[in-house]
Amino acid sequence: MLETVRSWRGAVVAPHHQAARAGLRILEDGGNAVEAMIATAAVISVTYPHMNNLGGDNFWLIAPDGEDPVGIDACGAAAGQASIDFYRALEHDSIPSRGPLAALTVGGAVSGWQRAYAYSRSRLGGKIPLSHLLEEAIALARGGVAVTRTLADNASGKFDQLAASPGFTGQYCPEGRPVKLADRLLQPRIADTLAHLAQAGLDDFYRGDLARSIAADLIGAGSPLTLADLERHQALDVTPLALEVAGQRLFNMPPPTQGLASLLLLGVFDRLGVATAESFDFVHGLVESTKAAFRIRDRHVTDPAYMAEAATAFLTGEQLDRMAASIDPKRAAPWPEANNAGDTVWLGAVDASGNAVSMIQSIYWEFGSGVVLPQSGITWQNRGTSFSLDPEHHNCLKPHRRPFHTIQPALARLSDGRVMPYGTMGGEGQPQTQAMIYTRHVMFGQDLQQAVTAPRWLLGKTWGSDVTSLRLEDRFGPDLVNALRAAGHDVEMVGPFDEVMGHAGALVRHPNGLIEGASDPRSDGTVAAW
């Protein structure tokens, strides 16, 4: 079984081992946590291309030593011509989940790298050249990566949905069949794209030769995105949401992410007075707190420019008290309500100076829209399918509107001086898994790796699934399972380390400089430390 990794000079955690080690090499070369994270993010876009890619989005929490984190929102907005009328004229009642019409939002990920790189150089003394940060990703894309089980399973399992998407089979079925476990996946076009960015600069993705190539390919495929949409995009500096829970400072991203739900969940659960982990009260309390948080999320969270109330209005003590009081300690509330799907990658880094980064990067569903651009090799996201074509819906589609995001990185500053970046992939599972890791480690004192490895549950959707039951890994004892069923939970059992439960990770830096790290045995990842 995995053990908590401990080190003194720095650590990087990622759901793929080559991504984590790429970040570690940057730390060893004198880079900071942000620089390490850029290298890690570039590599994982190559090694886990079904979950994240250059055509996706990302969000960052960057916490300089001893300071509250700053946020970077690299979420791409809807195309200027993407409107309800546009899709209605094409006789669609909802936005197609795959294909060119699903590729309706700008990929903001590269702008997140750009913003973080600028922050590193201006605030953290970063000096590593961009070319060096992208070097390992370029080499792996050109030389090939060993196909993981998750990539192989999803290429095969989603083939029927994606085969008609332009460029998909050419990229992910190079021998006339979906890639298989341990195949060598070559991505020469991605290698060339990254090499071009290393030379021309990251802004070229939006306002340069690469931008023109991307726009031409998107238009040629039938996407509503244009060069003008790329040119108007900028990553945003944002103030993270914050909540104090039992003396600990918790941070997450503001809308359009579901970071609000993650904070509400923990704030409500803290008020339930649960005494022990792994008990009925623990699981039931967190599940019911999830439902309470999701009700707020599903009624209010969207592009903040369109929200009637600021997200901070829901993080008051009075609001949390009311939500906690609505929970029956013995009975499950009815479910489901409206929900969302998706998957992604979460990445974390801590350097010797105490700077910490929590970052998440995604193309939404597995392989996103399935559209692979012929010149650049970029797989484009389908994040815009989270929009509704109902004009009365709180998240209805409008030109240049930013889509609702399930993805959100988490970070905590604890009262004893520790800093803890943590997170996971997995749609609606993200707030839940974040809460499991945080409560097990911080509230109930479990070893960090134990908290990540421990059996998990999932209420609602993930991985493009329509399942809304309460899924439990079968490592939970039968007495607990029976008690949950007796309380009215619609329980479904899954395997002992089921990937549907996400790919989580966490790092903790102590005041004396000790760094602890944990990776998820459900992934292909590791903690790379020195």
For residue 460, the model assigns a pLDDT of 81
**pLDDT > 70? residue 152:** yes
Query: Which amino acid is located at 387 in the chain?
Result: F
Give domain status of residue 404, yes or no.
no
* Cα–Cα distance list, 473 to 73, 457, 466 (Å): 33, 6, 18
Query: How many structural domains compose the chain?
Result: 2
The answer to whether residues 136 and 187 belong to one domain is: yes
Name the residue with higher pLDDT: 461 or 380. Answer: 380
Residues 371 and 101: their CA atoms lie apart, in Å, by 10
Q: Residue 363: what are its φ and ψ, rounded to 5°?
A: -115, 20
> Where do the DSSP E strands lie in 390-514?
410-413, 419-424, 457-459, 470-473, 491-494, 504-509
- Specify whether 284 is located in the same domain as 308: yes
Residue 333 has what DSSP assignment? P
Q: How far apart are the first and last CA of the chain?
A: 21
Query: Is the pLDDT reported for residue 480 higher than 80?
Result: yes
E-strand spans in 200-240? 236-238
Q: Is residue 399 part of a domain?
A: no
Distance CA 504, CA 495 (A): 17
For strand 241-245 and strand 345-351, is the pairing parallel, antiparallel, or unpaired? Answer: unpaired
Q: Let me know whether 367 and 510 are in one domain.
A: no
Q: What is the mean pLDDT of residues 223-237?
A: 98
6-33 pLDDT, tens per residue?
999 999 999 999 999 999 999 999 999 9
Segments of 97-229 assigned E as strands: 145-146, 184-185
The number of residues making up the chain comes to 530
Where does the pLDDT of residue 462 fall: very low under 50, low under 70, confident under 90, or very high at 90 and above? Answer: low
The answer to whether position 9 is within a domain reads: no
At 343 the pLDDT is 61
Note whether 292 and 228 are same-domain residues. no
In-domain check, residue 1: no
Q: What is the CATH number of the domain that holds 456?
A: 3.60.20.40
Query: For residue 415, how many other CB atoms are within 10 A of its CB?
Result: 11
Distance between CA 397 and CA 332 in Å, rounded? 34
| 5 within a domain of the structure (yes/no) | no
Distance from C-alpha of 17 to C-alpha of 358, rounded to nearest angstrom: 17
Distance CA 436, CA 455 (A): 9
3-state secondary structure of 6: strand
| Tokens describing residue 177 | 């069949």
Reply yes or no on whether 302 is catalytic: no
Residue 466 has pLDDT above 60, yes or no: no
Q: Are residues 28 and 136 in the same domain?
A: yes
Integer Cα distance of 336 and 415 in angstroms: 36
Calculate mean pLDDT across residues 85-89.
Answer: 98
Note whether 52 and 164 are same-domain residues: yes
Q: Does 260 share its domain with 377?
A: no
Do residues 515 and 496 touch, judged by C-beta distance below 8 A?
Answer: no
Catalytic pick from 169, 344, 453, 526?
A: 344
Q: What is the mean pLDDT of the chain?
A: 95
SS3 of 349-404: EEECCCCEEEEEEECCCCCCCCCECCCCCCEECCHHHHCECCCCCCCECCCCCCCC
pLDDT, tens digit, 9 for 90 and up, residues 35-80: 999 999 999 999 999 999 999 999 999 999 999 999 999 999 999 9
> Does residue 369 form part of some domain?
yes
CB atoms within 10 A of CB 281: 17
393 in any annotated domain: no
> Are 79 and 224 spatial neighbours (Cβ–Cβ below 8 Å)?
yes
Same structural domain, 126 and 219: yes
Whether 172 and 242 share a structural domain: no
CA-CA-CA-CA dihedral for 134, 162, 235, 237, to nearest 10: -100
Task: Summarize pLDDT for 189-218 with one digit per residue, the tens.
Answer: 999 999 999 999 999 999 999 999 999 999
- Cα 484 from Cα 130, distance rounded (Å): 51
User: What is the rounded distance in angstroms from the CA atom of residue 74 to the CA atom of residue 111?
Assistant: 6
Question: Beta strands 491-494 and 470-473: pairing type?
Answer: parallel
Query: Nearest-5° angle of CA 407, CA 130, CA 57?
Result: 15
| Of 104, 58, 61, nearest in space to 81 by CA | 104
Does residue 158 sit within a domain?
yes
Domain range holding 260? Answer: 238-342+413-529
Q: Do 202 and 169 belong to one domain?
A: yes
Give 530: exposed, middle or buried? Use CB within 10 Å, 0-12, 13-18, 19+: middle
State whether 431 and 471 are in the same domain. Answer: yes
Is the same domain home to 216 and 108? yes
Would you give the distance in Å from CA 292 to the centre of its chain? Answer: 22
Read off the pLDDT of each residue in 312-341 and give the average, rounded to a whole number. Answer: 88
